[in-house]
Amino acid sequence: MNSLSNLLSLPNVVLDVEANGKREALQRAAAVFAGSSRMGEPQILECLMAREQLGSTGLGKGVAIPHGRLRGLKRAAAAILRLKDPIEFGAPDGQPVRLLVSLLVPENATQQHLQVLSELAQMLSEPSMREQLETITQPAVLLAMVAAWEPIRPAA
Residues that are catalytic = 67
Cα separation of 130 and 23, whole Å? 23
Q: Tell how strand 58-60 and strand 63-64 pair up.
A: antiparallel
Q: Tell how strand 67-70 and strand 63-64 pair up.
A: unpaired
Distances (CA, A) of 69 to 5, 22, 73, 106, 136: 18, 19, 8, 5, 29
